């Protein structure tokens, strides 16, 4: 039997779970194909096919699916990830993602759209993976083994993130099986970059935000770099918990950053038209203003984000923070 | 007496006012959303929050200077953003210096104790639970009467001989129902209003199109937010059937799901098996049901950036193709103009009419 090729679009949850999925499928004997880095073509196609009112990340997902379709994969892995922590669900657009792909795009390979919802009971997540394995025709022993290895791979990946790496770098390290030291870069400021992983770590759509910060001598800290246990244990200060996993995390990260200190500025990176962010941004702004005097900026990106505009805003923000810091130390 | 207010949703404020006054509150009536309401809301709400948030915030900002202490609204359990609006509103209003509190009625199926707690808070008159039940029953009957009258007006308006007669009868009927107090009075007022509406001179020969309206609840229920779309359509000779009324929605979310709701859900299942929150799945299910019932078209109304409706809208073209029913979507926000909307509606109705005639006698239309 020829090797089954499974395509995984490199956006949205890719940035947090790809090593897990890759290991899982490889252990099932499948070949994993990714759509690679986001490029102009993926974006243009997404803008054309997806609904105009959808947010950029969703449009990009359409573009990545096209890329995989062109590469000729046998299956597309588009899981319906509902809830992974018993508490919060993902954005409604994630919940309806397989349906949107299926009913909008034509001539796409069959989807593997297992539903992942840990609230269904013990072992629900394993059952979802088991179902995936069965779709590919693997034996149950193989699936169990692959699942175990996948979990292990994800743990290793996550410990790299906790050590301060960014997901793309961490994936590279895992792939090369090396364990390099974390590089010491010459930085004088630390900014917390909060927002959703699929915007922050996507070099194309965030217009290289993280690298730009390094160049300016600023060390970015993201929610994935913060100590995880402390992060998820943050008390809910809102009257009602935010319903969406990433938004809830971003809010808790704001709380933690304010509590721990050590950051000179907070940047909230958001996508134009992002539903949950409309509320989250306001809440974050209120929280930062209430609890501290750390400067806060929200940066909105969309399909037309220009390099120059982004740089100007970042430079202005960094200058402002530097001046403020200088003023405080002089006084 | 504590001063309370609530959002303006269609004509429902009439029933709510009666209920709250009975329970011993002083009601500050929410004004009908206007340009000023919107301006206030847009100024203080987050930019990308959906349209209902801005209207509701504007409404609160118009009533709060009159000394409102309590705002009563409904909640939600996500993942639609509407479940968080009360909390957001409270934060914004507090930051603007209004010392208001918000009472959120969450679905009692999930939070039964919460309901009792809330009822105690809106009951400063310390009525017994038995008399509260009586009050709620009367208010409920009033809501039903208002909804029934509205449903009938949708049927009469396209057939009326004198433009505007149905709307006038509707306004009059609403006032009658509003003035009724006891259960018997409400029932009598409803009967009288319905009769007056039936008596509007009608043209039975007229060619009537049937259009279903689906979408997000607030923009469906509040005519000021959808720019009186139902009236515009009625004047174009279109009989409208709206998929959602306040009474139906309340029933679905209070005790058990109704049969209608389950039908809608089952219809949508092949296209969208997941509950997205909001009314995304209902939009798809209702579109399918309308198509099966032989409607001429469907209009989807949604606020700009509404997440569930965006998902629904992405899937709807396929549903429209599979079931051969035209669907028109309006994303509403503070920039939507009535003239632009009327033009789009006219074009849509023309298309539906052409399509209907062609289905009836294909040759005739081709010759024209």
Below-50 pLDDT ranges, chain A? 330-331
Q: Which two tokens stand for residue B115?
A: 């309901």
ipTM for this prediction: 0.87
Domain boundary among A124, A144, A174: A174
Nearest-angstrom CA–CA distance, A306 and B180: 62
Chain B residues with CB under 8 Å of A111 CB are: none
Can you give the pLDDT at residue B368? 42
Q: Is residue A285 part of a domain?
A: yes
The residue among A103, A58, A75, A64 whose CA lies nearest residue A303 is: A58
CA distance A204 to chain B (A): 23
Q: Are residues B169 and B274 in the same domain?
A: no
Q: Do A100 and B315 touch (CB under 8 A)?
A: yes
CA distance A52 to chain B (A): 9
The residue among B331, B354, B341 whose CA lies nearest residue B232 is: B341
The gap between the terminal CA atoms of chain A, to the nearest Å, is 74
pLDDT band at B291 (very low <50, low <70, confident <90, very high): very high
Read off the pTM. 0.89
Can you give the pLDDT at residue B123? 86
Q: Are residues B76 and B216 in the same domain?
A: no
* pLDDT tens digits along B174-226: 999 999 999 999 999 999 999 999 999 999 888 899 999 999 988 999 988 88
Chain B residues with CB under 8 Å of A92 CB are: 79-80, 276-278, 280, 307-308, 311
* pLDDT tens digits along B80-112: 888 888 888 998 999 999 999 999 888 888 888
Q: Number of structural domains, chain A?
A: 2
* pLDDT tens digits along B336-348: 788 889 999 999 9
Give me the helix-helix angle, A40-49 and A56-71, nearest 10°: 110
Confidence check: pLDDT of B253 > 80? no
**B345 touches B232 (CB < 8 A):** yes
Nearest-angstrom CA–CA distance, B15 and B143: 6
Q: Are residues B53 and B71 in the same domain?
A: yes
Burial class (CB in 10 A: 0-12, 13-18, 19+), A308: exposed
Cross-chain CB nearest to A275 (options B81, B317, B318): B81
Domain boundary among B127, B145, B176: B127
List the single residue in B with minimal CA-CA distance to A54: B310
Beta strands in B285-341 (DSSP E): 297-303, 327-332
Q: What is the CATH number of the domain that holds B366?
A: 3.40.50.11900
Q: Number of structural domains, chain B?
A: 3
Can you give the pLDDT at residue A331? 44
**Sheet architecture: strand order including B26-27:** B26-27, B3-5, B70-74, B101-105
> Residue B176's domain spans which residues?
136-205
Q: Which two tokens stand for residue B296?
A: 């001429």
Q: Is residue A290 part of a domain?
A: yes
Phi-psi region of B218 (alpha: psi -120 to 50; beta: other; left: phi over 0): alpha
Q: What's chain B's average pLDDT? A: 88
Which residues is A75 bridged to in the sheet?
Answer: A6
pLDDT band at B365 (very low <50, low <70, confident <90, very high): very low
* pLDDT tens digits along B64-81: 999 899 999 888 776 788
Can you give the pLDDT at residue A276? 87
Q: Are residues B57 and B120 in the same domain?
A: yes
Can you give the pLDDT at residue B364? 52
CA distance B228 to chain A (A): 23
Can you give the pLDDT at residue A327? 66
Q: Do B272 and A244 touch (CB under 8 A)?
A: no
Q: Are residues B196 and B212 in the same domain?
A: no
Q: What is the CATH number of the domain that holds B102?
A: 3.40.50
Query: Which of A62, A95, A120 to substitute to test the interface with B, most B CBs within 10 Å?
Result: A95
Phi/psi at A248 (5° precision): -60, -45
Q: Are residues B172 and B300 in the same domain?
A: no
Q: Are residues A140 and A210 in the same domain?
A: no
Domain boundary among B158, B184, B205: B205
**B74 touches B118 (CB < 8 A):** no
**B13 touches B29 (CB < 8 A):** yes
> Residue A39's domain spans which residues?
5-174
Q: How many residues does chain B have?
A: 368
Q: Which two tokens stand for residue B350?
A: 């023309």
Chain B residues with CB under 8 Å of A53 CB are: 304-305, 310, 313, 331
Q: Is residue A179 part of a domain?
A: no
**A200 touches A210 (CB < 8 A):** yes
Nearest-angstrom CA–CA distance, B283 and B258: 17
Nearest-angstrom CA–CA distance, B134 and B139: 9
* pLDDT tens digits along B17-49: 999 999 989 999 999 999 999 999 999 988 888
Q: Are residues B224 and B187 in the same domain?
A: no
Domain boundary among B127, B149, B178: B127
């Amino acid at each position: 039997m020829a090797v089954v090729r499974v395509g995984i679009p490199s956006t949205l949850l890719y940035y947090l779970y790809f090593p897990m999925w890759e290991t899982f499928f490889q252990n099932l004997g499948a070949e994993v194909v990714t759509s690679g880095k986001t490029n102009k073509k993926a974006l243009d196609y997404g803008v054309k096919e997806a609904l105009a009112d959808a947010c950029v990340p969703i449009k990009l997902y359409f573009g990545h699916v096209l890329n995989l379709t062109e590469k000729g994969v046998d299956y597309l892995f588009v899981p319906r990830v509902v809830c992974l922590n018993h508490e919060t669900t993902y954005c409604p657009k994630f919940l309806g993602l397989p349906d949107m792909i299926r009913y909008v795009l034509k001539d796409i390979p069959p989807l593997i759209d297992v539903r992942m919802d840990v609230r269904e009971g013990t072992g629900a997540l394993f059952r979802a993976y088991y179902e995936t394995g069965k779709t590919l025709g693997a034996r149950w022993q193989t699936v169990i083994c692959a699942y175990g290895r996948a979990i292990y791979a994800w743990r290793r990946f996550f410990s790299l993130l906790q050590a301060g790496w960014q997901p793309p770098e961490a994936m590279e390290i895992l792939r090369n099986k090396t364990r390099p030291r974390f590089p010491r870069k010459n930085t004088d400021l630390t900014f917390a970059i909060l927002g959703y992983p699929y915007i922050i770590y996507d070099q194309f759509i965030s217009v290289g935000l993280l690298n730009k910060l390094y160049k300016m001598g600023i060390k970015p800290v993201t929610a994935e770099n913060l100590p995880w246990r402390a992060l998820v244990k943050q008390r809910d200060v809102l009257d009602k918990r935010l319903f969406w996993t990433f938004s809830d995390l971003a809010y808790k990260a704001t709380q933690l950053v304010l509590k721990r200190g050590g950051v000179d500025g907070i940047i909230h990176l958001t996508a134009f038209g992002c539903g949950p962010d409309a509320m989250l941004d306001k809440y974050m702004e209120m929280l930062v203003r209430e609890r501290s005097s750390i400067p806060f900026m929200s940066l909105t990106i969309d399909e037309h984000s220009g390099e120059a505009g982004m740089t100007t805003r970042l430079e202005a923000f960094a200058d402002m923070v530097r001046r403020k810091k200088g003023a405080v130390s002089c006084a | 007496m504590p001063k309370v207010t609530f959002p303006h949703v269609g004509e429902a404020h009439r029933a709510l006012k009666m209920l709250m006054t009975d329970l011993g509150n002083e009601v500050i009536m929410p004004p009908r959303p206007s340009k000023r309401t919107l301006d206030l809301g847009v100024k203080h709400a987050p930019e990308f929050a959906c349209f209902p948030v801005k209207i509701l915030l504007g409404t609160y900002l118009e009533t709060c200077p009159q000394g409102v202490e309590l705002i009563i609204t409904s909640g939600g359990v996500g993942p639609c953003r509407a479940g968080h609006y009360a909390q957001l509103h409270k934060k914004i209003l507090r930051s603007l210096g209004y010392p208001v509190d918000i009472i959120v009625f969450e679905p009692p199926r999930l939070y039964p104790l919460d309901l009792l707690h809330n009822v105690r808070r809106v009951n400063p008159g310390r009525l017994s639970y038995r008399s509260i039940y009586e009050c709620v029953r009367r208010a409920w009957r009033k809501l039903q009467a208002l909804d029934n009258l509205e449903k009938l007006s949708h049927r009469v308006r396209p057939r009326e001989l004198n433009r505007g007669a149905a709307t006038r009868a509707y306004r009059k009927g609403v006032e009658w129902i509003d003035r009724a107090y006891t259960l018997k009075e409400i029932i009598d007022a409803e009967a009288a209003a319905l009769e007056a509406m039936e008596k509007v001179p009608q043209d039975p020969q007229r060619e009537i199109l049937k259009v279903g309206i689906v979408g997000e609840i607030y923009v469906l229920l509040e005519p000021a937010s959808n720019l009186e779309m139902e009236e515009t359509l009625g004047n174009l000779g279109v009989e409208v059937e709206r998929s959602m009324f306040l009474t139906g929605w309340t029933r679905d979310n209070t005790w058990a799901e109704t049969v209608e709701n389950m039908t809608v859900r089952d219809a949508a299942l092949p296209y969208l098996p997941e509950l997205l929150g909001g009314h995304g799945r209902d939009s798809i299910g209702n579109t399918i049901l309308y198509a099966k019932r032989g409607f001429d078209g469907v209009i989807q109304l949604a606020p700009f950036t509404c997440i569930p409706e965006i998902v629904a809208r992405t899937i709807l073209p396929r549903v429209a193709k599979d079931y051969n029913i035209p669907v028109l979507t309006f994303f509403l926000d503070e920039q939507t103009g009535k003239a632009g909307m009327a033009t789009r509606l006219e074009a849509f109705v023309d298309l539906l009419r052409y399509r209907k005639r062609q289905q009836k006698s294909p040759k005739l239309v081709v010759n024209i």
